[in-house]
């Protein structure tokens, strides 16, 4: 009896222990499940966040892919395999109208076949403003930068004409062409396209036929409505109608001529210079590569105007100063 009793007690104890054990196990399983659920929720949250990030990244990449695609399509559309390339060299510098000027130019250049734009910033390094503009330009381009040395930089209030402009910028573009387009198979013509002039699309059909050095009229320059080469009955250039410093060897504006790449390759040192007198930059380079007799008169025997030496008025930004005094600017986070 005692034995049975103690056996029963023992059994009861064992059962209790087992129940406690089972309850314990169930409890642990529940805790474990709850934790897994929690872990899952956190994991899903993290995944969701990652998905958002991925979508965002994808959008950025798709946008830049589309910009590239549009640019490449545009360049291919304008590619004529049997025509030479026009290399337009544009020196440019930071100022309130810079983006407007370059936009105007790029919109014109977009209409031109076989066009390569060499944009050289007068700055220590390339700016994102110009880089962004070029990326979206639909154009084939090369972006360079070189700063004008301090002693040649125009001082505040100093008149524009005091110092030569764009000298270093045009020269490194010429260097770039001589190294990157060194081979004879690179057929091209070089034109100096300042960022404030106005260019007709027709001008580029003239530039494209230049074998040596071509010249044509330029509107609104040198105190004249049109400054132009004068030709004889044989269609040879015999001089210019220039009124300003007519004694210059080549009294022509930067916008009034183009040089074939072959000529530049034949004269590897031809360049612009600081040492020449005011207004003699054009003469400086042309004297090194061509004679008057060799010039090719274009634009219908120099009777048409396809380029204008326009100048953009400097905008008055007085209200901007007021904003700046309050630590604000109107162009915060926006390229103007």
* Shortest Cβ 97–ligand UDP spacing (Å): 10
The stretch among 20-28, 31-39, 162-170, 289-297 that binds ligand UDP (CB under 6 A) is 162-170
Residue from 140, 146, 191, 195 that binds ligand UDP (CB under 6 A)?
Answer: 195
Q: Which residue has the tokens 């590239």?
A: 68
State which of residues 175, 187, 196, 205 lies at the interface with ligand UDP (CB under 6 A).
Answer: 196
* Residue 287 token pair: 């004297």
Which range, of 1-9, 136-144, 188-196, 326-334, touches ligand UDP by CB under 6 A?
Answer: 188-196
User: Nearer to ligand UDP by C-beta: 174 or 297?
Assistant: 174
**160 scored as a contact of ligand UDP (CB under 6 A):** yes
Q: How far apart are CA 158 and CA 148, in angstroms?
A: 16
Q: Are 241 and 227 in contact (CB under 8 A)?
A: yes
Smallest gap from Cβ 161 to Mn ion, in A, equals 11
The verdict on whether 70 is a catalytic residue reads no
Report the first-to-last Cα separation within the chain, whole angstroms. Answer: 104
DSSP 105-121: HHHHHTTSSSEEEEEEE
Closest CA to 274 of 145, 151, 118: 151
User: Is 195 within 8 Å of 311 (Cβ atoms)?
Assistant: no
* CB nearer to ligand UDP: pick between 16 and 311: 311
**Which C-beta is closer to Mn ion: that of 194 or that of 282?**
194
* Partner interacting with residue 169 (select from ligand UDP, Mn ion, none; CB below 5-8 Å by kind): ligand UDP
210/86 Cα distance (integer angstroms): 10
- 199 - beta bridge partners? 307
Residue whose pair of structure tokens reads 């407007």 in the numeric block: 100
Strands 307-308 and 198-199: antiparallel
Q: Which residue in the shown chain puts its C-beta closest to ligand UDP?
A: 166
Residue 245 β-bridge partners: none
- Which lies closer to Mn ion via its Cβ, residue 187 or residue 196? 196
User: Do residues 88 and 58 make contact, with C-beta atoms less than 8 angstroms apart?
Assistant: no
176's contact among ligand UDP, Mn ion, none, with CB below 5 to 8 A by partner kind, is: none
In whole angstroms, the minimum distance from the beta carbon of 311 to Mn ion comes to 6
CB-nearer residue toward Mn ion: 196 or 320? 196
Closest approach, Cβ 200 to ligand UDP, in A, equals: 18
Can you tell me the distance from the alpha carbon of 29 to that of 24, in angstroms, rounded to the nearest whole number?
9
Q: From the candidates 121, 206, 227, 282, which is the catalytic residue?
A: 282
CA distances from 113 to 75, 76, 86, 181, 263 (A): 8, 9, 8, 18, 22
DSSP annotation of 195 reads T
Among the listed residues 99, 126, 143, 154, the single contact to ligand UDP using CB under 6 A: 154
Q: Per-residue x/- mask for ligand UDP, residues 65 to 104, rule CB under 6 A?
A: -------------------------xxxx-----------
Q: Interface with ligand UDP includes 126 (CB under 6 A)? A: no
Binding of ligand UDP at residue 320 (CB under 6 A)? no
Nearer to ligand UDP, 3 or 155 (CB): 155
The contact set with Mn ion (CB under 5 A) reads 194, 196
> In this structure, how many other beta carbons lie within 10 angstroms of the beta carbon of residue 177?
21
Residue 320 contact among Mn ion, ligand UDP, none, beta carbon within 5 to 8 Å by kind: none
Phi, psi of 289 (to 5 degrees): -120, -15
Interface residues with ligand UDP (CB under 6 A) are 90-93, 122, 148, 154, 160, 165-166, 169, 194-196, 311
Catalytic residue positions, numbered:
282
């Amino acid at each position: 009896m005692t034995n049975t009793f103690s056996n029963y007690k023992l059994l009861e104890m064992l059962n209790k222990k087992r129940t406690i054990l089972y309850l314990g196990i169930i409890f642990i399983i529940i805790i474990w499940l709850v934790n897994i659920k929690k872990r899952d929720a956190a994991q899903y949250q993290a995944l969701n966040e990652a998905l958002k990030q991925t979508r965002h990244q994808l959008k950025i990449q798709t946008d830049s892919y589309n910009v590239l695609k549009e640019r490449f399509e545009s360049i291919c559309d304008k590619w004529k395999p049997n025509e030479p390339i026009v290399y337009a060299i544009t020196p440019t510098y930071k100022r309130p109208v810079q983006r407007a000027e370059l936009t105007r130019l790029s919109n014109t250049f977009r209409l031109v076949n076989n066009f390569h734009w060499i944009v050289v910033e007068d700055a220590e390094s390339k700016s994102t403003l110009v880089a962004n503009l070029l990326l979206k330009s639909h154009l084939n381009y090369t972006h360079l930068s070189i700063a004008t040395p301090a002693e040649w930089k125009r001082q505040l209030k100093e008149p524009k004409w005091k110092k030569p402009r764009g000298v270093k910028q045009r020269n490194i573009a010429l260097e770039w062409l001589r190294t990157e387009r060194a081979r004879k198979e690179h057929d091209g013509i070089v034109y100096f396209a300042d960022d404030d002039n106005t260019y007709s699309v027709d001008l580029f059909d003239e530039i494209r036929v230049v074998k040596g050095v071509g010249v044509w009229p330029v509107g609104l320059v040198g105190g004249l409505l049109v400054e132009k080469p004068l030709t004889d009955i044989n269609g040879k250039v015999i001089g210019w109608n220039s009124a300003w410093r007519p004694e210059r060897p080549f009294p022509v504006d930067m916008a009034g001529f183009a040089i074939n790449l072959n000529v530049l390759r034949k004269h590897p040192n031809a360049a612009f210079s600081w040492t020449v007198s005011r207004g003699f930059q054009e003469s400086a380079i042309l004297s090194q590569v061509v004679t008057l007799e060799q010039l090719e008169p274009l634009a219908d025997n120099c009777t048409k105007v396809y380029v204008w030496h326009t100048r953009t008025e400097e905008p008055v930004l007085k209200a901007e100063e007021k904003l700046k005094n309050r630590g604000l600017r109107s162009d915060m986070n926006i390229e103007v």
